[in-house]
Amino acid sequence: MIVLQNLTKKFGSFVAVDNLSLTVPQGEFFGFLGPNGAGKTTTIKMMTGLFTPSSGSIVVNGFDVQNQALEAKASIGYIPDQPFLYDKLTGREFLYYIGGLFNMPKKKIQERVKELVEHFEIGDWVDKRTEEYSQGMRQRVTITAAFLHDPKTIIIDEPMVGLDPRSARIIKDSLKQKSLEGVSIFMSTHSLEMVEELCDRIGIIKDGKLIFIDTKENLHHHKSNYDGKLESVFLELTK
């Protein structure tokens, strides 16, 4: 479960996120949309501890991200917009590294790596250095790392960058499955199709402010006021 309350982030005089409040219940797949520079990545970075909020609070799975940062982070699986890895490590070493940071026992890491490498079809690449990886392979390893410790909440920033259609399908199915298992998913994306296909609820942010939030069912009602396309709703709202 994720609760954002009056969340604000300022960079000097620029307000990137402005008094944002929303709740994502346990097991919900939440789609976070917005034009470039709207504040999506900034919000996600605050939720994962990469940015400190200027004001407001974030509670993830009952833990305040600022005051109980370690507990909160232990329950989150984070997939950033750019899959930056340590170039000199192999994929397997990187996954063991992440497992260690999450205090996982070696045996558990071994089991999960075997299972997830097979699931995400990483194959022999897992034993090659990540500097030799394509963007898509890096993304798969990053997603594997986020799934490794069975988090209660997954936070994703643009998950489909660089993925081929088959990989994208695997990731979508995996995320949907996780959501059905009770994992909360907070996903920022530009892909309206993906939002329509996967999300239970959708929020749209513009200039740091939440301008729309509703369920997929109600969204269909909004769409009928336009030409039946989510794209038209999005373009109208973010105009």
Partner 1 sequence: MTFSLNVQSLIKNVGSFIVFGSFAVGAFFFSRFLTAYLLEDVKIGLFLFHRFMSMLLFVFFITISLGNMVVSYSTLYRSPEVHFMLTRPIPHLTIFIIKFLDNFFYSSGTLFLAGFSVLLGYGSYFGFPWHFYLWVMLGVLVPFMFLAGCTAVIILLVLMKLASKINFKMLIGLLALFYVVQIYLYFHLTSPIDLVREVMRYYPNVNLYFGQLDPPVSNYLPNFWISQIFFFYATGNQTAVAGYCALLLLSTAAAFIALVVAGDRLFYSTWITSLTFKSFSIKKFEFTGTLFSFEKRSHFSPQNESILKKEYWQFLREPSQWIHLVVMLLLVCTFLSSVTSMDFGLQDPKLRTAVYLVVYIFDAFLITSIALRFAFPMMSLEGDAYWTVRSSPLSASKVYWTKFLIVLVPFTLIGLALAVLSNIPYILLSPLPQVTTAGMGFIAAALVSLNFGLGSYFVNYDEKNPIRIASSQGATLTFLLSIVFLVVLVIVFFFPILAVFNSIYYEIPKKISWLYYALAVIAFLSAVVGAVSHSIGVKALSRDV
Applying CB under 8 A, which residues contact partner 1?
12, 45, 48-52, 69-71, 73-74, 76, 78, 80, 82, 84-86, 88-89, 92-93, 96-106, 110, 129, 131-132, 145
Q: Which is nearer to partner 1, 55 or 225 (CB)?
A: 55
CB of 191 to partner 1, least distance (A): 22
Alpha carbon separation from 32 to 60, 128, 188 (Å, rounded): 16, 34, 4
Cβ neighbours of residue 10 under 8 Å, at least 6 residues apart? 16, 54
Q: Which is nearer to partner 1, 130 or 179 (CB)?
A: 130
CB of 58 to partner 1, least distance (A): 13
CB of 143 to partner 1, least distance (A): 13
CB of 97 to partner 1, least distance (A): 5
Q: Which is nearer to partner 1, 100 or 228 (CB)?
A: 100
HEC secondary structure over 76-118: EEEECCCCCCCCCCEHHHHHHHHHHHCCCCHHHHHHHHHHHHH
Q: Which is nearer to partner 1, 29 or 96 (CB)?
A: 96
The C-alpha atoms of residue 98 and residue 90 are separated, in whole angstroms, by: 12
Q: Are 95 and 144 in contact (CB under 8 A)?
A: yes
